[in-house]
Structure 1
């Protein structure tokens, strides 16, 4: 194993897990939070704490089956860098919202694509902090 990418398989698992949360049949996978996230883990988006601790992470990820039909974190990542227990990943994420009653068929109105730059801190093999900035991906390749 290349020591410079010791967490790459771990993050593939994290992002596969996140994508699977949209399947209403996977609600039990919220219990997998403990597999990837430390008990006191935090998600910080654009400078705002979005979740702190397991219960807030559970609420944060718990909305996925209700709000999203699909979440796809694209691989290969745009950027992947590791330095000790810090990992920087730049990636594109495609989110497709659930179709609501009365919404027109055949449109992509509920499809959003974002570019994310995230810095992950790893403690004892789990994510202790995720700091991210996101922006709507508009026409760049």
Structure 2
């Protein structure tokens, strides 16, 4: 196995799992959180801790069915660097919010696209930390 891509399949599976969380019919998906995330894992976005520990991760990912109609992590990734137990991935993510009762039909106004650079630490085959920065895509390629 090429040492430079040893976690590629793992991250493809993790992002496929995340993309499926917005499907309200997918009730059991949160139970799979342990497959990808360590019990004490953290998500840090733009310098702020968004989730720390499995219960906060559960809450973080638990909002997907309520808030998002669609979450799509685009592959192939723009950048994929695998060095030991550190992985850097640059990718685009498309998010479409759910229409709420009483909201005007906004069509694509609920659709947002972001560029993300994420640095992962992997411990014992699970993500122990995800540090990411995001920016709204504004017509860049």
Structure-2-length-normalised TM-score: 0.97
Residue in 1 that maps onto 2:92: 92
The yes-or-no answer on 1:34 pairing with 2:41 is: no
* More off after superposition, 105-114 vs 6-15: 105-114
RMSD: 1.0
Q: Secondary structure at the match of 2:25?
A: helix
Kindly state the Cα deviation for residue 36 of structure 1 after the two structures are TM-superposed: 0.2
Kindly state the Cα deviation for residue 105 of structure 1 after the two structures are TM-superposed: 4.0
Q: Secondary structure at the match of 1:109?
A: helix
* More off after superposition, 100-109 vs 20-29: 100-109
> In the comparison of the two structures, how many residue pairs are matched?
141
Residue in 1 that maps onto 2:12: 12
> How many angstroms apart in 1 are the aligned matches of 2:133 and 2:85?
20
Unaligned runs of 5+ in 1: none
> How many angstroms apart in 2 are the aligned matches of 1:37 and 1:22?
18
Kindly state the Cα deviation for residue 104 of structure 1 after the two structures are TM-superposed: 4.0
Kindly state the Cα deviation for residue 116 of structure 1 after the two structures are TM-superposed: 0.3
Residue in 2 that maps onto 1:21: 21
* More off after superposition, 129-138 vs 24-33: 24-33
> How many angstroms apart in 1 are the aligned matches of 2:14 and 2:112?
21
* More off after superposition, 56-65 vs 26-35: 26-35
Unaligned runs of 5+ in 2: none
> How many angstroms apart in 1 are the aligned matches of 2:53 and 2:107?
37
Kindly state the Cα deviation for residue 12 of structure 1 after the two structures are TM-superposed: 0.3
Residue in 2 that maps onto 1:125: 125
Q: Secondary structure at the match of 1:108?
A: helix
